[in-house]
Amino acid sequence: MVAVLTGSKNALKGVGFFLGAALLAWVGYDDSLISMAVLLAVTVIALLLLPDEDIGRSKKKAPLRSILSKSSAVNRLSAARFFLFGSRDIWFVVALPVFLDEQLGWSYQGIGASSRCG
């Protein structure tokens, strides 16, 4: 199940990179940003209006202690992974595309393809 969820997340992320690169090439930065913000707003509104209110909610609240491991080493490893993957995503989503555009003059499609590999 974890592999299926991770794979689908990564596939959707890849589609987003290529869609963003295509939008940048077709309509430019400002219009791309506005169109993606509008699509995100429409999605949020649809999610607020359409689904059942109980979707994703647990019948009873789990205390924080039940989520954490009894081993402090496992908890430290989990925290380290959280920050490691967060910093990796910041690098590949923000810093690398800006570097490829500003310093190397890559096309938007090339930047989208390289960022997807990260």
Query: Which residues constitute the domain of residue 94?
Result: 2-52+71-117
Instruction: Give domain status of residue 57, yes or no.
Output: no
Q: What's the pTM?
A: 0.43
The answer to whether residues 114 and 100 touch, using CB atoms and an 8 Å cutoff, is: yes
Residue with tokens 């940048």: 24
How far apart CA 96 and CA 101 sit, in angstroms, is 9
How far apart CA 65 and CA 54 sit, in angstroms, is 24
The answer to whether residues 112 and 20 touch, using CB atoms and an 8 Å cutoff, is: yes
The answer to whether residues 115 and 92 touch, using CB atoms and an 8 Å cutoff, is: yes
Q: Which residues, other chains included, contact 62 with Cβ-Cβ below 8 Å and sequence gap of 6+?
A: none
How far apart CA 106 and CA 51 sit, in angstroms, is 42
pLDDT for 58-116, tens place per residue? 677 777 677 777 888 888 888 898 898 888 888 877 888 888 888 998 988 888 776 55
Instruction: Give domain status of residue 93, yes or no.
Output: yes
Instruction: Give domain status of residue 61, yes or no.
Output: no
The pLDDT, as a whole number, for residue 114 is: 67
Instruction: Give domain status of residue 46, yes or no.
Output: yes
Which of the 8 DSSP states describes residue 92? I
pLDDT for 47-70, tens place per residue? 888 877 666 676 777 776 777 778
